[in-house]
Structure 1
Amino acid sequence: MRKVIARAIVTTSILGASLLMAESDNIRAYDLAGTFGVTSIKNDGGIKLKNGTFGVNLQMNNFTVKPRFDFEYVRITDKERLIAGLRAKEVNSLIKGSINGVYEMKDAETFFPYALVGVGYEHVTDETQGFESHPFIQGGVGAGYRFRDNSFIVRLEAKLLQILGGETIQGRSEDNEVITTLSFSVPFGRILHSTKQPVQPVMIDSDGDGVMDQFDKCPNTPKGVRVDGAGCPLPEPKTEIIKEQVITSLEGNECPVKIDGPDRDRDGVEDSVDQCPNTPCDFSVDDKGCPVKANLMIHFATDKANITDYSRPLVKRFAEFLINNKGSMVHIIGHTDWRGSDQYNMALSKRRAKAVRDALIEYGVSASRLSTEGRGEREPIASNKTAEGMALNRRTEVKLTYPQYIDAGDK
């Protein structure tokens, strides 16, 4: 059995050395560890950490409470009886297997404390009365430290183990063990999320409209022209024209007559050219009499939900558009790239949508007009296999609707 344990530990070390050759700045799906420590068995009348302990464990990192599978071998180094009065046999070793839930209290770049609870089974070689194979429960605490951009992790851990179903011998029942271990683990598997703030690429806005060149669909916009989220000019405001054309208002009617001509919906566009003849009169419309449309797309840094200085002017302009265009409702949708677990990305996309909503409220838009949704990594607009594609997928989009208006052509 000792040879089996030794081989397992050697295998872990060899695998760890090979994986260290490829450094990573990210949290990966699994941690494989070799452990070394000491155990106080059945307390032996007091805590005596004198029995060598060796093992391996595998931890899965794509959950909030992370499953960890442990295999441990304890060699009994003290040949005195473990329970007074029983000297017929000597227990040589313990072999334990367990499954544990690990909660890391801080997802930090280097140091992180954690706690764990678990269940398992302990096999006793050369069993004797009062010291037999039984299931157990255990709990513990520890602290970890990540080295070399998370390519190597050291953990110090202490656990208390309680045997289930043990016997009381000569009035004593000390069916518990104290275990302290030092482990060395190597992360491997797919990347879940980054632990470091990435260096942001230099972004250029050649025409000075507030939309970076890589996202600007109208790259040569003249200076001073208001643009939408895609960098294209917004429709010219019609406020002054409407004021000049107002003739009168009907007493008791909240929709004044705006032009001298047939205008059934009183939106300021004559019926002969009005392509949306049923628009409510308080809606802002274009020169065809249809509700004005606009778009906003914001991009984010890796694993971040804060709006960048580059994007702030876009959000402000969109807020001004909403304030000047009544009747519209805005649904904000957050997205991520494919790195990270589904659960993590869904939460991140919701935070991104909320960040845009909070900014619009800050700029004066009523909260009652805004709703949010997170869709995680499910709807990419570019390939997630390149850095450029992932940058495009880390975004929020908006859907602008006029819920009080139904165009007859859409029925």
Structure 2
Amino acid sequence: MKHFSKFLLASMLVLGLTSVNAQDANNPWSIGIQTNAVDFYPTGQDAPQGEWFNHYFETDNWNILPSVSRITVGRYIGAGFVAEFGGSINQIDQFGERSVGDLSYYSADLMANYSLRALLNDGWFDPVVGVGGSYNWIGDTDNDLQGFDGATLNGKLGFNFWFSDNVALTVESNYKHSFETETASHFQHAAGIKFIFGGTDSDGDGIYDKDDECPETPGLPEFNGCPDSDGDGIEDRMDECPNEAGLAQFNGCPDTDGDGVPDPQDECPNEAGTAEMNGCPDSDGDGVADNEDDCPNEAGPADNNGCPYEDRDGDGVIDDEDDCPDVAGTMANNGCPEPSAEVVSELNEYSNTVLFDLNKATIRSESEDALDQIAEIMEEYSNTVFHIGGHTDSTGADDYNLQLSRERAESVREALVERGISSSRLTSEGYGETQPIATNNTSAGRQENRRVEISLDEEKEMRE
């Protein structure tokens, strides 16, 4: 027994090395299995007892039953307090320095213990102080030592050394003071193993339900018991993509192509694109995403599936806007050709051969071929508006000449309409004798001034 204190010291050094749990609300119950030692010597009474704490650590005066001789049951109350009930048996053969015959020893203890562990940053070292009472039965011996049967007031100092989540090595010393029989006051030391239990961990993740924010799903301590299935550092209940590792900036969702659009919102998750195109690229910059663009490398309008419109005649006016898609024209004339000066000159060569009855607007029959030629040329320029102007010489009254020129111009217009030229493409006007191209003093000059001229009516829009 002299080496028992050395054994306790070695156990303290070997077993108390890690930071673990202790008895608390998660593990409210404990059971202790101990060996106890009873010492009457250092209690400050008369001989055969010594002075207070005299030879306190001297085990020669200890009464030890070398077996499991003390059992405790504890229940966590809260705020670091534990109510503990203990029962002990022993045999007393040493009363101070005096040997006695074997005396039976029984004790029932009820203690209120307080753990100082929280003050030490919840480490493995758990000092405990306690106060309470006991009822003790000490058997008598042949007249030299009277038996004792009564209560004591107890004070306790102990240490728990937690070396796993549920198991601790315990050592403690209780002073039991008897007010009835002072010689019955004594120290009871105990050492053994304590087991804590009673906590509920429904999902088996090592975090008790009381502290587990996801008690039905195994999780991690850093997320208070909640899982992070994809291991991206964002717990599942806050992760919009819990099964795919992602980024915090996208609430746990990945951005596979690195274009700044998270995959769930990215219509092209494997190709870098733009937010405007919902994560898809637009290679030709025409505002139509490549995955919807029939011509991804040629800019074109959306209403043509991203392809440029055709320009079959190559005149720079797309077919969709070209009134003459198969004939090269000008943009100003909606893609249709415009007659050149030579063409206008040719028209007027024919128009100069159009003859009228004397002082009438009736076209003579020999002018039919000329009108046919004029209509044929106009048909080639289907988007052009032509103007027919009638002119006279200065012979006769001005009003008469003006009216006659108007009627002759209108007669030519009607003749061309009859040959298939749209009336919306023809305008006519009479100018009388106001626009001579030769002198009116000679017969030849007056003949030149009596004419019908065809020109382009650029100020007129084609009427339907």
Shorter-chain TM-score above 0.5: no
Which structure dedicates a bigger proportion of its chain to strand? 1
Q: Which has the higher contact order (CA 8 A, sep 6+)?
A: 1
